[in-house]
Chain A
């Protein structure tokens, strides 16, 4: 009963926020002369309107969930990992390269590619952790900067040595992966692929790990107060490398499943332009670094995006306005509306 009440209270805030966000979005729609009901209906349809669109939303959410989980882990350990983008790019590239050049049967290459993606994303992230632990370089800055370096490096590889020379050869991309290494689709004719299962399992595992294991406990305490953790015998340096590695590993996995499940090749810019990394960070922050919450927030953000596309396709509301509405919704969802609301009510009573 108590738990139920607590749950209800914790749901009040996001619900209220979504409500206010929709109201604010409605104002934007009215300003451009759209019909609020129709626009939101199209948005809903684009995100959840049918099984097809629902799975579409989930497939878009897949990399966001994985990135969000990685970021959540690092945040929980007290490390501000802003480098998901670079980690994802390198993970994706390594997965593609492994899948293309490794000999062996398809299933073997697929697994190897996923592992390669996780490892290279993890190493890139752990590098930032190492620079911080060893040289006291601010992690926030290094991770941000390493993004640019990773993107340029990957860009170079696919523009020159690894470039796809079959076909029109006009894109900076690797060759298409052999069909045997593609991640299977979950439903025929839908874009949702097995990567989503990985993301969902990842969320549950991370949740269980953080909550019920010794290491998870240590990571949480390290994030809560690093002095307390080190006083209790947690080794910050080691933990930093470990948690940054796992954090980057999630981002690398995100890149890998995009390559193996959606694009079937590494295409320069295909992972950076949708802003998956920023969405992932937002999902994490919206959920207060709770793994399951992060997954839900990621789906919500993905739904806003796919909904926005639906809105653009089927109404006269232009694409820019749909991005305005998305931003407004996010802003309000992030606001701790109940905070001031409850406080005020208390003061009065």
Chain B
């Protein structure tokens, strides 16, 4: 496992209401490709994107094809192949796609591209970016309010820059509500290792953490299991995962990749597709946290408590209004 993975999720209940305008039934079917820089595999982020993409394809009558790549070199090759095979729109995603997309998009100025979750500043590319650190901030703030032991933890996939968006946001939020709290961070060293993820959670629990956020991709499953076994609280990423074990998985950080994929296809077929950069944060409802920005089917855990939720909702409003600034660790 390599490269990276972004998680998170906004469950993005796709606004399926807005569908049936049946834009281009008369025209020829558009061919749209979603080229992913790695295997969809265990990555909820890609799973959601693929779902949103396919859904839009069937709803708006576009011919859609999802292409996974085994590695970065293969990705560039796939991207070039889709150009050669003359897709009308080529969507791709994540930071990993940046280099290849820059090259290919520059070489093919007449082709339409879109990239999700990073910015590629070219005239024929539409970029959609997320501000996950804002959601992490909310989660950290909630954790700071809810913790009884004053120790909270995070089990993180890898010590790599892109994951600092999560840890740093979380820590900023935590400090804002509970400057005393101790924050434990441990790295799994892999995106696919629930076994180690579980051990790390057990370790943090043994050090007294009562809330441990999973930020370890598949490793999260291990964290959840540890929570169930030892009775501490945890949180998931990407989609609303509280339903899996509402007693222990008390929060989820959300990232609307499916909605973005869906919207992109929709706008392209409908003719409202625009190049340039779109930035999705709390304000645009592109990222969020269960109970704060979105309701959940699960009941709110007493550990979190309605009172804390209300307090953090206020923080969310401050972030949206710009009153509170969340520092992006990747921006200098």
Q: A residues touching B (Cβ–Cβ < 8 Å)?
A: 52, 56, 60, 155, 159, 163, 165, 167-172, 176, 189, 191, 258, 262-265, 267-270, 272-275, 305-306, 308-310, 312-314, 319, 323
Instruction: Give the residues in chain B near A272, CB-CB below 8 Å.
Output: 2
Instruction: Give the residues in chain A near B17, CB-CB below 8 Å.
Output: none
Q: Is the CB of A273 within 8 A of B72?
A: yes
Q: B residues touching A (Cβ–Cβ < 8 Å)?
A: 1-4, 38-39, 65, 67-74, 76-78, 80-82, 84-85, 95-96, 98-99, 107, 118-119, 159-162, 165, 330-332
* 9 contacting pairs across A/B (C-beta < 8 A): A168-B118, A170-B118, A191-B77, A268-B3, A273-B2, A274-B70, A305-B70, A313-B65, A323-B70
Q: Is the CB of A169 within 8 A of B161?
A: yes
- A-B residue pair count with CB separations less than 8 angstroms: 104
Alpha-carbon separation in the docked complex, A313 to B90 (Å): 13
Alpha-carbon separation in the docked complex, A172 to B65 (Å): 30
Q: Is the CB of B71 within 8 A of A274?
A: yes
**Residue of B78, B85, B95 with most chain A CB atoms under a 10 A cut-off:** B95
Instruction: Give the residues in chain A near B3, CB-CB below 8 Å.
Output: 268-270, 273
Instruction: Give the residues in chain B near A168, CB-CB below 8 Å.
Output: 95, 98, 118-119, 330
Q: Is the CB of B161 within 8 A of A172?
A: yes
Alpha-carbon separation in the docked complex, A163 to B95 (Å): 14
Q: Is the CB of A171 within 8 A of B72?
A: no
Instruction: Give the residues in chain B near A269, CB-CB below 8 Å.
Output: 2-4, 72
A313-B160 contact, Cβ under 8 Å, with A52-B84, A168-B98, A171-B96: no
Instruction: Give the residues in chain A near B95, CB-CB below 8 Å.
Output: 168, 170-171
* Nearest 5 CB-CB pairings of A with B: A269-B2, A273-B2, A274-B71, A170-B162, A169-B330
Instruction: Give the residues in chain B near A265, CB-CB below 8 Å.
Output: 99
Partner of A273, one of B71, B77, B81, B159: B71
Q: Is the CB of A191 within 8 A of B165?
A: no
CB-nearest residue of chain B to A164? B161
Instruction: Give the residues in chain A near B68, CB-CB below 8 Å.
Output: 312, 319
Alpha-carbon separation in the docked complex, A306 to B71 (Å): 11
Alpha-carbon separation in the docked complex, A60 to B74 (Å): 9
Q: A163-B161, A165-B332 are in contact. List 14 more A-B contacts (CB 8 A).
A: A159-B161, A167-B98, A170-B161, A171-B160, A172-B161, A189-B107, A263-B73, A267-B99, A274-B70, A305-B70, A310-B81, A313-B65, A313-B81, A319-B68
Alpha-carbon separation in the docked complex, A172 to B330 (Å): 11
Q: How far is the CB of A7 from chain B (nearest CB, A)?
A: 34
Q: How far is the CB of B164 from chain A (nearest CB, A)?
A: 9
Q: Is the CB of B161 within 8 A of A270?
A: no
Alpha-carbon separation in the docked complex, A172 to B161 (Å): 6
Q: How far is the CB of A63 from chain B (nearest CB, A)?
A: 9
Q: Is the CB of B76 within 8 A of A169?
A: no
CB-nearest residue of chain B to A310? B81
A267-B72 contact, Cβ under 8 Å, with A168-B118, A171-B4: yes
Instruction: Give the residues in chain A near B77, CB-CB below 8 Å.
Output: 56, 60, 191, 306, 309
Alpha-carbon separation in the docked complex, A310 to B69 (Å): 11
Q: Is the CB of A169 within 8 A of B332?
A: yes
Partner of B162, one of A155, A171, A191, A313: A171
Q: How far is the CB of A89 from chain B (nearest CB, A)?
A: 11
Instruction: Give the residues in chain A near B332, CB-CB below 8 Å.
Output: 165, 169
Instruction: Give the residues in chain A near B70, CB-CB below 8 Å.
Output: 273-274, 305, 308-309, 319, 323
Q: Is the CB of B165 within 8 A of A270?
A: no
CB-nearest residue of chain B to A314? B85
A312-B67 contact, Cβ under 8 Å, with A159-B159, A167-B98, A168-B98: yes
CB-nearest residue of chain B to A258? B73
Q: Is the CB of B76 within 8 A of A170?
A: no
Alpha-carbon separation in the docked complex, A314 to B74 (Å): 15
Alpha-carbon separation in the docked complex, A170 to B2 (Å): 14
Instruction: Give the residues in chain A near B165, CB-CB below 8 Å.
Output: 170
Alpha-carbon separation in the docked complex, A17 to B283 (Å): 60
Instruction: Give the residues in chain B near A60, CB-CB below 8 Å.
Output: 73-74, 77
Instruction: Give the residues in chain A near B38, CB-CB below 8 Å.
Output: 273
